[in-house]
């Protein structure tokens, strides 16, 4: 009743050699009906489960996908991980989530290394472009996909949204509503996505002949509290913006909160649009206009790419960018009459 049992024990009870027991359990080679039954019975009796560690050490598949996350705090990360988990499950893989700010820290490298061996393939979520571990992956040609990454070209497939184009669409929505003084709340620069979104913001303004003003571009670290603080900065300006484009939904929530705290109304006085469309976006008040990320499709694509590599396809550079959809809800409205 104590520790887990091993194959040799099962074999002994069944009166066969370990390898025969192994064959019987995996239904692999030739095993007589009689022997097979004795083995299976013994296994059941001992509650035997094969040691995947040992199997994996021999190089067998583990049917496990590792998801490396470096910003577990964020809600999008949660949603993405959920989507990947579902997709993986559908095709017979389980996922293991490993969480660290960086993967190249001193004590962390062996763990990453171990997990990369344990898992058949890896998905790196929002990896930091400067993380040294990215190079390890590229160098060792480990089957891997980067998810939501826009920092630079890499030699593995990258699944992401069309950050720049989508940001532009968000801002064009605001411009279409008559807004002329539009602020941008950016996130941290680690994955390169915020930078692209900022470019899209500038693209839209430029196309409409509007100036790109430094005082209207603030930073909120992709977190709600950061969005709140960034918005307070904006609300302290001489001339307030009439609309805010936040580089993710969580910062948009913070922005709305800050605006309400000042006794102003959304969208009557200031419109707010987010980015990502996490589930909460439709549950808050006012419901949040935002750009929707096709997470399920992206997750499916990432998993498919990964499994292809696991099954032998070469690891190659490949950019899979998904378009986003504008979701208009109640946080954006016509610009107030000046």
Partner DNA sequence: GTGAAAGCGCTAACAT
Partner DNA sequence: ATGTTAGCGCTTTCAC
Q: What residue 164 binds from DNA, its own copies, none (CB within 5 to 8 A, per partner kind)?
A: none
Q: What is the CA radius of gyration of the chain?
A: 26
Q: What residue 60 binds from its own copies, DNA, none (CB within 5 to 8 A, per partner kind)?
A: DNA
What is the C-alpha to C-alpha distance for residues 66 and 80, in angstroms, rounded to an integer? Answer: 13
Distance of CA 151 to the CA centre of its chain: 15
Footprint on residues 278-307 left by its own copies (CB under 8 A): 279-280, 282-286
Specify whether the backbone of 285 is left (phi greater than 0), alpha (psi in -120 to 50) or beta. Answer: beta
**In the bound complex, what is the minimum distance in angstroms from residue 309's beta carbon to DNA?**
20
54 versus 316: smaller Cβ distance to DNA? 54
By CB under 7 A, the count of residues binding DNA is 27
Contact between 109 and its own copies (CB under 8 A)? yes
From the list 1, 27, 58, 312, which residue makes contact with DNA (rule: CB under 7 A)?
Answer: 58
Phi, psi values for residue 170, rounded to 5°: -60, -45
**Which three-class secondary structure state does DSSP give residue 338?**
coil
What is the C-alpha to C-alpha distance for residues 338 and 329, in angstroms, rounded to an integer? Answer: 23
Q: What residue 207 binds from DNA, its own copies, none (CB within 5 to 8 A, per partner kind)?
A: none
49 versus 261: smaller Cβ distance to DNA? 49
**In the bound complex, what is the minimum distance in angstroms from residue 274's beta carbon to its own copies?**
12
DSSP-assigned letter for residue 237: S
Alpha helices (runs of H) in the chain, residue ranges in sequence order: 7-14, 18-26, 33-46, 52-57, 75-90, 108-118, 132-140, 163-176, 193-207, 224-235, 249-261, 295-310
Take residue 38 and report the two structure tokens written for it.
């004795």
Contact between 75 and its own copies (CB under 8 A)? yes
By CB under 8 A, the count of residues binding its own copies is 58
Phi, psi values for residue 306, rounded to 5°: -65, -45
What is the C-alpha to C-alpha distance for residues 242 and 225, in angstroms, rounded to an integer? Answer: 21
From the list 37, 44, 60, 319, which residue makes contact with DNA (rule: CB under 7 A)?
Answer: 60
What is the C-alpha to C-alpha distance for residues 104 and 130, in angstroms, rounded to an integer? Answer: 10
**In the bound complex, what is the minimum distance in angstroms from residue 118's beta carbon to DNA?**
12
Binding region for its own copies (CB under 8 A) out of 108-116, 123-131, 240-248, 308-316: 108-116
What is the C-alpha to C-alpha distance for residues 149 and 122, in angstroms, rounded to an integer? Answer: 14
Binding region for DNA (CB under 7 A) out of 12-20, 88-96, 143-151, 322-330: 12-20
Contact between 25 and DNA (CB under 7 A)? yes
**In the bound complex, what is the minimum distance in angstroms from residue 237's beta carbon to its own copies?**
23
Binding region for DNA (CB under 7 A) out of 25-33, 67-75, 212-220, 254-262: 25-33
Beta bridge partners of 160: 321
201 versus 253: smaller Cβ distance to its own copies? 253
Which positions touch DNA (CB under 7 A)? 6-8, 16-20, 22-23, 25-26, 28-32, 34-35, 50-51, 54-55, 57-60
């Amino acid at each position: 009743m104590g520790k887990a049992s091993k194959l040799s024990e099962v074999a002994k009870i069944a009166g066969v050699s370990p390898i025969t027991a192994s064959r019987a359990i995996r239904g692999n080679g030739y095993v007589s009906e009689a022997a097979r039954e004795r083995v299976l019975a013994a296994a059941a009796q001992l509650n035997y489960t094969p040691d995947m560690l040992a199997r994996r050490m021999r190089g067998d598949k583990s049917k496990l996908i590792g998801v490396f996350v470096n910003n577990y705090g964020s809600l999008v990360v949660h949603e993405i991980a959920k989507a990947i988990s579902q997709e993986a499950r559908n095709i017979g893989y389980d996922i293991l989530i490993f969480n660290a700010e960086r993967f190249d820290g001193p004590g962390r490298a062996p763990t990453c290394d171990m997990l990369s061996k344990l898992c058949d393939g890896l998905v790196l979520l929002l990896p930091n472009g400067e993380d040294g571990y990215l190079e390890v992956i590229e160098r060792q040609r480990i089957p891997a996909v980067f998810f939501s990454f826009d920092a630079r070209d890499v030699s593995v497939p990258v699944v992401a949204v069309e950050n720049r184009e989508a940001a532009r669409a968000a801002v064009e929505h605001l411009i279409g509503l008559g807004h002329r003084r539009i602020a941008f709340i950016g996130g941290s620069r680690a994955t390169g996505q915020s930078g692209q979104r900022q470019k899209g913001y500038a693209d839209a303004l430029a196309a409409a002949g509007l100036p790109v003003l430094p005082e209207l571009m603030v930073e909120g670290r992709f977190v709600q509290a950061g969005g709140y603080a960034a918005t307070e900065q904006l609300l302290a300006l001489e001339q307030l913006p009439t609309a805010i484009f936040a580089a993710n939904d969580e910062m948009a929530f913070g922005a709305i909160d800050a605006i309400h705290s000042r006794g102003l109304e959304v969208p009557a006085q200031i419109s707010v649009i987010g980015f990502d469309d996490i589930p909460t976006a439709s549950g808050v008040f006012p419901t949040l206009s935002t750009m929707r990320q096709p997470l399920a499709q992206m997750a499916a694509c990432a998993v498919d790419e990964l499994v292809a590599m696991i099954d032998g396809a070469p690891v190659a550079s490949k950019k899979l960018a998904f378009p986003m959809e504008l979701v208009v809800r109640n946080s954006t409205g016509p610009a107030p009459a000046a």
